[in-house]
Structure 1
């Protein structure tokens, strides 16, 4: 085990601590928007730098763990009690990708000029809430115990409700209420799982639970796993626990929808990966996950085909592609887990980018409905920003979507079981239908003349024009439709570039995810995995 120097202890805490402190500062200075913006961008930039440093350290030395407010324990001199933060290759990669997305989206939001429904009153609560959301996301990936993970989820819930209902329109409040009710149910199930876990093992520390669960009867262990899977499955929008998502996300402002779609469901996927590999190795629930993954892929993409609003369409494709990640987790081999991790990173970037592009389409054309759109090819910048991530989502070679899907298919073929082959077939069908869906958006919104759109006359549209940075353009102001601020276009272009980087450097990135997957699946009874070794100090 590589000992963690004191400065690494500080480094691991930064992605959570800095956004929380910045949230307090921005809340106190709510009447100074320029100060709020500077502090927000600076805090997320610090979190990104710290995450990138942890990515390098974990790639070189493996897993690190720090304890905050812990006490010694007879069994483990370093003490597993208190709050434990753990960073390994998986959590470091998730942190880097998430902070990149959070930084680009907040710059986009600043360019959009988010308001609470009037042109006179800025929303001073948006940036503090966004920073609290950032802290919750980062802490979810670092949490080394179930209760700390639960607290992170609750922080996410509180901040996301504020962001989802921004503007307090009837549709947003209705969607927010639905989202909160579903999230509360998930939280109650998670809390029940925590109580079940503590009564069974006498601890909530993940590493110590992993050791003690080896001596728990199989039936009890499977029951606990099932409870946690339901809680995390709701967060991840795994079918049949995904019906809430398409109704909740599309009503929010574009940057809020983008960060929700890109990140929040992946927190649930991360929790499933962590519990499946660390706490419950051996594949006892793999068949259940395979069936759920197949149903998630197919139901999601068939729902997307039926949509005429681009936001709802993308929300259904979001659900369908969660199925690919569950596919990799369920197969459980080193190659399938590596492919799942790579696909999570790919999907966070691509899905976020597409929702940001939809915000630009709304600004450009005044609507996101395919019944009202047409002729957007007249804006080549907008067309390029949509086409690249759309092809990537559809799995066209040589993009990262194609690379990740091929690796997942290889893992399924190597497994060779009937369910694995069904998943392979379902994944191919879903990919083809995804390509059909994005091609339909391209044909109707970009190539078709607006005059041919059934409701084209209802959309107020003007020619595309970039406006100087800092010019505040309100989506709610119809007279501003057609003007895309540079501070909205540039972050979107940055997201497209980062998505392309996953393709250009697919070899080194897959090498990293291979190492991350090896750490995860290297978990046998009586043997300390790298994660357990880092937390408890035991040697393999």
Structure 2
């Protein structure tokens, strides 16, 4: 007996056309980092393979992110949905100018840290998985910047955090374990709020695709608990970004891991939380953003004050720079709270600037600690005599962090201040400038104590401190190379800011007008 066959039209549920090869660039960062991260874990007993294989993977990651950014700037947002299912049924990866630019700068930072770690991390640390954890953490970071699904944003957060736990405890000292506990507790609590918001959102809308949610929330939403969901997102992402009042975990933990691990933490991890808030609050839930704009403003002010005043009071070099990271998060929140094209552009520029500069400052602090034998400012001194090049590069990074011309920080802060003035919030612009002055004083004091004076407290004036010799002479130039690369980038952006400013404008426009993003996912305008 013949069985009748029915023709099933899959075009309404599945992708039937082949994906353009160039669009596969969007998942290349994930494939590269997962593959080489797993391979390095499997070959961890072959210590000689760790550095060359890890650096090769980081170069591939940089090339993939650069290609993706070029593709997005040329063709607009691109999207690929996994498993051939059409969105919102399938899990989408979607890259626009904002996500692609964050992923590209993150890959630059990761390569610089990898080069630094090739001389800073000993053979035992490499064998125990430094480069594997670094690549897996970059997998989570790039996945967070490129995903188009809120639940998978949570998944990539967890990948990032699990790998960062491994980097933080690498070395197994009492101080590292203490810092890891504080880091883990607050970040896991933030993840719990994030997961609760995600479940609440799915229960309310029945979808977690960002483009789908964006389109639905442009329609009347009477009866939906959007403000509650937005509050949970602000709490969860704010904790991960180290925003006031729950920022104390950052300076209490970032000074404990190796200099290379601390540098990439300071440069990237808090920016993932800031990126998630920009994406969810401005693009996905603009009505909730309008409700919480004043609340976000007060969070921004509290974060800026906490960071700048904490830096003034701190006597540990890496903890001091941790407070500088917090102060910068406050400026990003100020741009987010403004919500205008100028404010969002300033937040994006400042985030990209902070990725480069804070990574560089933590690398400089690591070298200074190895040269001087301590992270305490009272016990440091004479480092200018030990390495004038290190002193010069550190001073340039401090000037950039203080937002002085001609460095990238100057333009980032100028855009935020201008947006605040245009929006009639002159008092917010004043707070940005005053807290910037406090940050400059704190960083300048650190430089004067560690580098400029002749020696630590108790050393006679004019007497040079003898260097303990914890850093081999052959290692110093190789450690200064990545530091010089990051310093060159912040100076280059300061001298020629137009490309970065334009990139930030495109990213801000994509948040305020999500139609191209939605069209990339669904193939038609909403």
Task: Provide the TM-score with structure 2 as the length reference.
Answer: 0.92
The answer to whether structure 1 residue 100 and structure 2 residue 112 are counterparts is no
> Which of residues 256, 280, 283 is equivalent to 1:278?
283
Partner of 1:242: 247
Distance across 1 between alignment mates of 2:293 and 2:274: 15
Partner of 2:353: 346
Deviations 1:175-215 (A, max 9, x none): 11121111111111111111100000001111111122333
Distance across 2 between alignment mates of 1:461 and 1:276: 52
1:55-70 equivalences under 5 Å are 55-70=69-84
Partner of 2:481: 490
The answer to whether structure 1 residue 438 and structure 2 residue 443 are counterparts is yes
1:184-263 equivalences under 5 Å are 184-213=188-217, 214-217=219-222, 220-263=225-268
1:78-477 equivalences under 5 Å are 78-114=86-122, 123-213=127-217, 214-217=219-222, 220-282=225-287, 283-378=290-385, 379-416=387-424, 420-450=425-455, 453-454=457-458, 462=466
> 2:81 aligns to what SS in structure 1?
strand
Deviations 1:328-364 (A, max 9, x none): 1110111111111111100110000000001110121
Q: C-alpha displacement at 1:395, in angstroms?
A: 1.1
> Which of residues 1, 15, 38 is equivalent to 2:52?
38
Distance across 1 between alignment mates of 2:136 and 2:459: 40
**Unpaired segments ≥5 residues, structure 1:** 72-77, 464-477, 524-528
Cα contact 2:381–2:465 (8 A) shared by 1: no
Give the direction of change, closer, same or farther, for the CA distance of 1:222–1:454 in structure 2 (3 Å limit): farther
Let me know the Cα RMSD of the aligned residues: 2.0
Give the direction of change, closer, same or farther, for the CA distance of 1:219–1:433 in structure 2 (3 Å limit): farther
Cα contact 1:462–1:482 (8 A) shared by 2: no
Distance across 2 between alignment mates of 1:480 and 1:27: 29
Distance across 1 between alignment mates of 2:121 and 2:375: 19
Q: C-alpha displacement at 1:152, in angstroms?
A: 0.5
Distance across 2 between alignment mates of 1:70 and 1:481: 53
Give the direction of change, closer, same or farther, for the CA distance of 1:51–1:218 in structure 2 (3 Å limit): farther
Distance across 1 between alignment mates of 2:360 and 2:401: 10
> 2:246 aligns to what SS in structure 1?
coil
Partner of 2:6: none
Cα contact 1:112–1:485 (8 A) shared by 2: no
> 1:371 aligns to what SS in structure 2?
helix
Give the direction of change, closer, same or farther, for the CA distance of 1:241–1:219 in structure 2 (3 Å limit): farther
Distance across 1 between alignment mates of 2:315 and 2:459: 12
Partner of 2:4: none
Q: C-alpha displacement at 1:10, in angstroms?
A: 2.1
Cα contact 1:363–1:482 (8 A) shared by 2: no
The answer to whether structure 1 residue 29 and structure 2 residue 43 are counterparts is yes
Cα contact 2:47–2:123 (8 A) shared by 1: no
> 2:117 aligns to what SS in structure 1?
helix
The answer to whether structure 1 residue 20 and structure 2 residue 34 are counterparts is yes
Give the direction of change, closer, same or farther, for the CA distance of 1:324–1:399 in structure 2 (3 Å limit): same
Distance across 1 between alignment mates of 2:516 and 2:377: 50
Work out the number of aligned pairs and report it.
503
Cα contact 2:136–2:160 (8 A) shared by 1: yes
Distance across 2 between alignment mates of 1:327 and 1:279: 19
Give the direction of change, closer, same or farther, for the CA distance of 1:122–1:299 in structure 2 (3 Å limit): closer
Distance across 2 between alignment mates of 1:46 and 1:147: 27
Cα contact 1:19–1:132 (8 A) shared by 2: yes
Task: Provide the TM-score with structure 1 as the length reference.
Answer: 0.90
Partner of 2:509: 518
**Unpaired segments ≥5 residues, structure 2:** 1-16
Distance across 1 between alignment mates of 2:390 and 2:40: 33
> Which of residues 450, 453, 470 is equivalent to 1:480?
470
Distance across 2 between alignment mates of 1:436 and 1:115: 39
Which shows bigger deviation, 214-223 or 265-274?
214-223
> 1:215 aligns to what SS in structure 2?
coil
Q: C-alpha displacement at 1:443, in angstroms?
A: 1.4
